[in-house]
């Protein structure tokens, strides 16, 4: 598997990727506590692709703190989770949007700071589901708060933790098209989607309803976000392998600077 280079001591050096986490009430055993957590399938994808995962709990942050976090990383994955707070893109909340609570705001602000810091450094970024929306809002874009209002059905998120399969079609010439070809089946679970694109982002995939299913930044740096859940199909590691490979190249370049 690609995604590791050789250190000065002759050992394979695996790149380190930071994965953002949830922040909400959680139950385990006798405990019912406010917690930071992430489904294991995310970091299993990184491991299978040859990387090392570090979990990043939402916390009070500014750009200086975000930079200190990023100092120890070679790439960032912005993971799935609750809806981005609509106030962050200038809208009032839809009745179907997750509540505007402090923990949700904290996660948003933490991830926005990480995205800004990673982009300043040219550090690889992969967004997954909510992560695509975070990237878009961080770049000044907006979201459709409730997709059934726009396309007339709820097949992108049928509920009860059941993922649906959508066929997505990539845009020729994009990084995503180079990675996965012209089309792919995608595991979806989202009731929101990108509306107005953030500055500098281009559409790299849509589905048959015209929903934006992936965006990326043009140029040499790896900044790609998909609306679907590639971690739900670990028999296909192409996206995880791509971000791990980009993180390895970033680490190598940083070491030689």
Total tally of structural domains belonging to the chain: 1
User: Mean of the pLDDT values across residues 140-169?
Assistant: 78
- pLDDT per residue as tens digits for the range 187-229: 876 789 999 999 999 999 999 899 999 999 999 999 999 999 9
**Residue 152, pLDDT above cutoff 70:** no
Structure tokens at 37: 């957590």
In this prediction the pTM is 0.92
The string of DSSP codes covering 150-186 is HHS--TT--STT--EEEEEEEPTTSHHHHHH-SEEEE
In sign, the C-alpha dihedral spanning 33, 109, 45, 12 is: negative
Answer whether residue 135 is part of any domain.
yes
Domain that holds residue 241: 14-254
pLDDT at 1: 45
Answer whether residue 6 is part of any domain.
no
Answer whether residue 2 is part of any domain.
no
Answer whether residue 5 is part of any domain.
no
**Residue 3, pLDDT above cutoff 90:** no
Q: What φ, ψ does residue 5 adopt, rounded to 5°?
A: -120, 175
Going by their DSSP bridges, the two strands 223-226 and 143-144 should be labelled as unpaired
Query: What is the phi-psi region of residue 53: left when phi exceeds 0, alpha when psi lies from -120 to 50, beta otherwise?
Result: beta
Answer whether residue 58 is part of any domain.
yes
Cβ neighbours, 10 Å, residue 176: 26
Answer whether residue 4 is part of any domain.
no
Answer whether residue 219 is part of any domain.
yes
Q: Which residues are catalytic?
A: 129, 229, 231
Q: What angle do CA 129, 135, 136 make, to 5 degrees?
A: 95
CATH of the domain at 22: 3.40.50.880
- pLDDT per residue as tens digits for the range 69-98: 999 999 999 999 999 999 999 999 999 999
Report the b/e string of 184-213 with b at 16+ CB within 10 A.
Answer: bebebbbbbbbbebbeebebbbbbeeebbb
Percent of the chain past pLDDT 90, that is, above it, reads 79
């Amino acid at each position: 598997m690609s995604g590791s280079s050789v250190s000065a001591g002759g050992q394979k050096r695996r790149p380190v990727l930071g994965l953002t986490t949830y922040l909400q009430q959680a139950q385990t055993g006798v405990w019912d506590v406010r917690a930071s957590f992430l489904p294991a399938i995310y970091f299993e994808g990184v491991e299978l692709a040859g990387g090392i995962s570090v979990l990043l709990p939402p916390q009070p942050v500014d750009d200086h703190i975000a930079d200190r976090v990023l100092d120890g990383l070679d790439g960032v994955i912005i993971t799935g989770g609750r809806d981005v707070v609509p106030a962050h893109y200038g809208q009032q909340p839809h009745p179907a949007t997750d509540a505007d609570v402090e923990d949700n705001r904290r996660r948003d602000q933490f991830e926005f700071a990480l995205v800004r810091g990673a982009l300043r450094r040219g550090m690889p970024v992969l967004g997954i589901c909510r992560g695509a929306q975070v990237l878009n809002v961080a770049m000044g874009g907006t979201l459709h708060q409730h997709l059934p209002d726009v396309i007339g059905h709820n097949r992108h998120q049928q509920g009860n933790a059941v993922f649906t399969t959508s066929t997505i079609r990539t845009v020729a010439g994009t990084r995503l098209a180079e990675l996965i070809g012209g089309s792919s089946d995608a595991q979806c679970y989202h009731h929101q989607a990108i509306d107005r694109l953030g500055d500098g982002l281009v559409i790299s995939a849509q589905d048959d309803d015209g929903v934006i299913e992936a965006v990326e930044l043009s140029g040499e740096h790896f900044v790609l976000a998909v609306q679907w859940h590639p971690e739900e199909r670990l028999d296909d590691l192409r996206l995880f392998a791509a971000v791990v490979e980009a993180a390895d190249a970033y680490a190598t370049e940083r070491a030689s600077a």
